[in-house]
A and B are shown apart, each in its own frame.
Chain A
Amino acid sequence: MDIFKRIKNLINRLRGKPKRTPRKILQSHNRRVETYTPPVEVDVVENISVETSHEDFHEDFQDKFQDKLVIDIKNVEDWENFVSKLNDLRGFEEFLFDKPLQWLSVQISRVRETLKKLSTPTDFSDDELNFNLAKKVRDVTEFMLNIWQSSTSAKDLDENSRLKLKNLVEQYVEKIGVDKENFQPGDSFDDWAKLNMSSSFNQIATTDITAGGKIASVTIQPHIIYYIGENGEVEKIIFGGYCTTYKRG
């Protein structure tokens, strides 16, 4: 039995899925024997004009994303290239094979379920296509960040495995073009607040007047997805960040 099949069976056992019919097994086999094509990098958009969806957008935004991956799907080839990157979860499957952690299996299943709902568009001129894909990328990344967060202190992981899993998440997120901010303890919470992320922090009290309004620790950095918006200009979704900030108490 090849490794993929064993992992799949293992995942299915954990999820309590019913046995597959012979037809499904055949379909699955057909998929397996397809030649694996390495994902092609999505075009980095050049000569981008800046889109501002609200007035206090970063002025230096244009400079910032020159070297970023921007979701810009123009045809079926772009679509398939990008979706194949999203679907490439082999590293996690191998990890699960070695360490069948139920919580990890649940999160990977969520990624798969989300990606399963991605069907190839029929109209590539739809100017909301990139935005809709960006939302899916956000959903998938959220699950990855859940894994990352769980991995940081999961009791059922030894240090090596923990590190390996964190690397897997970081590599996956980077591969699908998701960027991240770099906040540090002591940075102003105002800058974090302006990113417009919801439910992105908790507070701890401090009697230190100078610490009030500053970030105490960063659990997860804010992540950013760039995409070509309906105006044909670069827009972004910032999400997923979580920090602890000081409040005067």
Chain B
Amino acid sequence: MGTAIGLDFGTTNSVVSYGKNTEKLRTFKVNGSPLIPSVLYFKTKDDYFIGQEALNLSAKNPAAKISSFKLKLNEDNIPYIVTLEDGATFRIQPKAAVRMFLNKLMTQVQNYLVKKFGTEDGLIDRAVITVPAKFKNTAVTAIKTAAASAMNLKVNQIKLVYEPTAAAVAALSDDDSDAERLLIYDFGGGTFDVSLIQKQNGVFQQIDTGGDANCGGDLLTNILAAELLNWANDEYGTKFPFDEMDFDEDLHGIDEEFYQKNLAAIHKEANHVKENLTDDSNVTSTFPFFTANGENENYIVDVSRKDFENLIREKINYTAEITRRIVEGDKAQEIGGIDKIILAGGSSQIPMIRDVLQEKLGRLDINYSDNVSTLISKGAAILAQNIESLESRTEQKTTVQIGIAITVGMQLGIFQTIIDEGQPLPCEGFCDCNLLEDNQRRLKITYYERDIKNFPNAKKIGDDGITYVDDLNVELPPNLKKADTTVRIHFHVNKDASLEFSAKVLHKDGSVVGENMMKINKASELI
């Protein structure tokens, strides 16, 4: 039997866990680190690098680096323009970037596993990939397709689950309590996510989600680093800016090289201080600091946990407020509240978070999860080990509405819901379309997603909260009469949130004229 893997394909970093049924889960590492930066760097159009190596190389030529392609896939899907070291340029779709990244990563993982377990046992034969709960169906489908191709797997050997579901699976695998209603507070490097998961009769059901894609733990480190720089500036009478864009050699009286060394030392120190303030109430911080006259001082300062908490209080309160809204929301009340909070993500170990959550939410049971940075991939690997039963062990719901725009009459441009938010997966819906003329051979449908929860007033195409997803081009059979014909387009959202379509032609007497004979092309796949 081969090896099962769980892939946490993150916006900033990716993590791969693997395991065989009888052994404990492991995490693939590069240079001792499980975090592989989700970055591509192109040396030539065909010769490219991923991970930390790509990140390092991109210093030479930032225009040949591609990052955040997972987010871009979900947002505008606009191609990147890459400029190579020799000045040549080419365009690359986010979807292609995802495929290239996963191809390279999975080749490395596969080679490693074959070395570890041998040719047969090391072969990846099951995989679960995590996707954010709020992700467009086209993006989800593109990730699944790219991953299946990168791992040489068939569709039934690869499944997608939402990140919070995977985190809950991993967190509960080490939990002896009978907790069933879990709130996952995930404060990762780049994003903050909060999710309510219910485990009932062995099934993980996603109840509600929230968060902020721009409020990650790295922000806290930066706040501390900026403060350390302020203190050092005060001590030595310098005015070095924290933002490199504001730096000027002449104005600040220091070589850029020394200024950059200062920033590097301060960032490194801020990380050290942040981590150590988790256990200690006071940390003595020291770092080399080049002053305006080029002298190298060793700056020393005591940083108390209180100092740090005062700096980050606003951000922590903000995350707690998002969490409170979920806990006190209708969906949480419907299931009778929550039993336990699981803290995931590197920054969630900051002691103040526990205090603030308890202050806002009352005395709830709060658990730290070990190996927070690998939690999601481990949950995915656990699910992958028994991939056959995955669909019966997870119950996920749609997180946005899927619909089309009304194209005629007074309601022109108004969003019309086909599949509602909060529907258990799998689910489906349909829309009926009329022909514009006799013998029409092609029908184009544009569909959208509406984030009704965060944008309750979004009604019309173009409003905030309603985003274009894709165009469907349906090839129709010949000789259809406009007056007699309706084309019904079915939207099927699979258990893993990927989206499929089918179409049939209905005669006005109710009979089906054509089914399974029409081809549906997605515009996103033609690029």
Contacts and interface: CB of A to CB of B under 8 A. Distances in A.
B264 A202 contact: yes
B378 to A, nearest CB: 14
A103 interface: yes
A189 interface: yes
B430 interface: no
Interface stretch (B147-155, B293-301, B517-525): B293-301
Interface in B39-61: 51-53, 55-57, 59-60
Interface string A186-219: 0001101111111111111100000011000001
B196 to A, nearest CB: 33
Interface of B: 26, 28-33, 51-53, 55-57, 59-60, 85, 107-108, 111-112, 115-116, 255-257, 260-261, 264, 267-268, 284-288, 295-298, 300
Grouping DSSP codes into helix (H, G, I), strand (E, B) and loop, the A interface class, with mixed when no group exceeds half, is: mixed
A154 B32 contact: no
Contact of B300 (A55, A103, A237): A103
Nearest to B85: A213
A197 B31 contact: yes
A141 interface: no
A163 to B, nearest CB: 16
Interface string A90-106: 00000000000111001
Contacts of A54: 30, 51, 108, 112
B189 to A, nearest CB: 12
Interface of A: 15, 51-55, 101-103, 106-107, 109, 131, 134-135, 138, 146, 149-150, 152-156, 189-190, 192-205, 212-213, 219, 230-231, 235-239, 242, 244-245, 247
Contacts, number: 112
Contact of A204 (B256, B284, B295, B296): B256
A103 B286 contact: yes
A15 to B, nearest CB: 7
B32 A135 contact: yes
A149 B57 CA distance: 25
Given A53-B30, A198-B52, A203 B284 contact: no
A117 B59 CA distance: 37
B284 A231 contact: no
Contact of B295 (A134, A155, A195, A196): A155
Contacts of A235: 32
Given A55-B111, A204-B257, A231-B115, A189 B60 contact: yes
B129 to A, nearest CB: 20
A202 B260 contact: yes
Given A103-B286, A193-B53, A197-B56, A52 B31 contact: no
B56 A196 contact: yes
Given A107-B286, A155-B296, 18 more contacts: A53-B29, A102-B300, A106-B285, A150-B286, A153-B288, A155-B295, A156-B298, A192-B56, A193-B59, A194-B56, A195-B31, A196-B51, A196-B56, A200-B56, A203-B59, A203-B260, A230-B26, A236-B31
A245 B261 CA distance: 12
B60 A247 contact: yes
Nearest to B259: A202
A213 B260 CA distance: 18
A202 B53 contact: no
Contacts of A155: 295-297
B296 A153 contact: yes
Contact of A106 (B56, B260, B261, B300): B300
Contacts of A109: 284
B35 to A, nearest CB: 9
Nearest to A193: B56
A155 B291 CA distance: 12
B101 to A, nearest CB: 14
5 contacts: A53-B108, A150-B286, A190-B57, A197-B52, A219-B261
Contacts of A205: 256
B286 to A, nearest CB: 5
A197 B268 CA distance: 13
A213 B296 contact: no
B112 to A, nearest CB: 6
A196 B300 contact: no
Given A53-B112, A134-B32, A155-B297, A15 B257 contact: no
Contacts of B56: 192-194, 196-197, 200-201
A149 B287 CA distance: 10
B257 A202 contact: yes
Contact of A55 (B107, B288, B296, B298): B107
Contacts of A200: 56
A237 B284 contact: no
Contacts of B284: 15, 106, 109
A230 B26 CA distance: 10
B111 A52 contact: yes
B483 to A, nearest CB: 63
Contacts of B53: 193-194, 196
Given A15-B284, A55-B108, A154 B296 contact: yes
B59 A103 contact: no
Contacts of A53: 28-31, 108, 112
Contacts of A195: 31
A244 B258 CA distance: 10
A197 B116 CA distance: 24
Contacts of A231: 115-116
B115 A202 contact: no
B374 to A, nearest CB: 13
B286 A51 contact: no
Contacts of B57: 190, 193
A187 to B, nearest CB: 14
Contacts of A238: 31
A216 B304 CA distance: 38
B59 A247 contact: yes
